[in-house]
Amino acid sequence: MPELPEVEAVVRRLRPLVEGARIVSCGQWRATTAKGTDCAVGRRIEGVDRRGKHILVRLESGAFLRVHLKMTGNLTVVGDARMRPPTVRAWFEFDDGRAMALDDPRALGRVTFHERGEENELFRDLGPEPFSGEFTVDHLKNKARGVRKPVKTFLMDQRAVTGLGNIYAAEALFEAGIDPRRAAGRISTARIGRLHAAIVGVLRVALDSALRAYIEPGGFTEGENFPVAVYGRQGEPCPACGKQVKRIIQGGRSTYFCSNCQR
Ligand code: ZN
């Protein structure tokens, strides 16, 4: 599943390709794939940015398309709208014949049209962006205060900070030396500081790796260049102490950690 770094890489690649293009028609594979996108027809694309894992394609008059890539989606530009690959689920043809296409083998990705002003309501529950000035140690400490659920689940729910998925949540907790099962509200202030630094550090390395992986057009795998320490390494030696990496299930997702290094 694309996480924040991969979505950011998609945004940076897409932006110069679509800025200034005018949408002249749109289509979709199934009714559930896209909602309200007819309203985008006739509008010019003014920019592309991101909120959490949502891609926002900015249109004239403050409207925007929101794209969520889900498990296997990718937002690309095809040279000829009529020659789009069979796995394209939603497309927006431009006045120059090219098209922006949601290519998605598993067809779980979604596109929705929104008018100006709907953004605050849409993203009300999303925490700050990890690279923004809003995401501070104090912010993380305040969010964690009194929270009884495990810190891994706390980090995954996007309210404390947006963009941490399963891979990078596990890696940040390893780097900070915190047991993923520990209640978020029972982590000392000093260790919250280490966790904050680990989250930002892991996501920076992941973003660099996603940008490199995305130099070539076509699909890419999340974290493919990211040097994982624990994620997906059940039974293998911990890179720090050599003890076997463990796997448990939290909130229906796998969590990988070292029970010796993470307390
Ligand atoms: Zn270890």
The full length of the chain comes to 263
Whole-angstrom Cα distance, residue 233 to residue 230?
5
Q: Point out the catalytic residue in the list 13, 43, 53, 84.
A: 53
pLDDT tens profile 162-218: 988 899 999 999 999 999 999 999 999 999 999 999 999 999 999 988 888 776 555
Question: pTM for the complete prediction?
Answer: 0.86
Whole-angstrom Cα distance, residue 139 to residue 137?
5
**56 CB-side CA count, 13 A:** 19
Give yes or no: 180 in active site: no
Please give the pLDDT value at position 213.
78
Please give the pLDDT value at position 262.
98
Give yes or no: 3 in active site: yes
C-alpha 138 – ligand 1 centre gap (Å): 28
C-alpha 159 – ligand 1 centre gap (Å): 29
pLDDT tens profile 110-154: 999 999 999 999 999 999 999 999 999 999 999 999 999 999 999
C-alpha 239 – ligand 1 centre gap (Å): 7
Please give the pLDDT value at position 221.
56
Give yes or no: 2 in active site: yes
Give yes or no: 253 in active site: yes
Tell the residue number behind the tokens 């890419």, with chain if given. Answer: 220
pLDDT tens profile 29-55: 999 999 999 999 999 999 999 999 999
Whole-angstrom Cα distance, residue 155 to residue 181?
12
Q: Torsion angle, CA of 70/72/73/78, rounded to 10 degrees?
A: 180
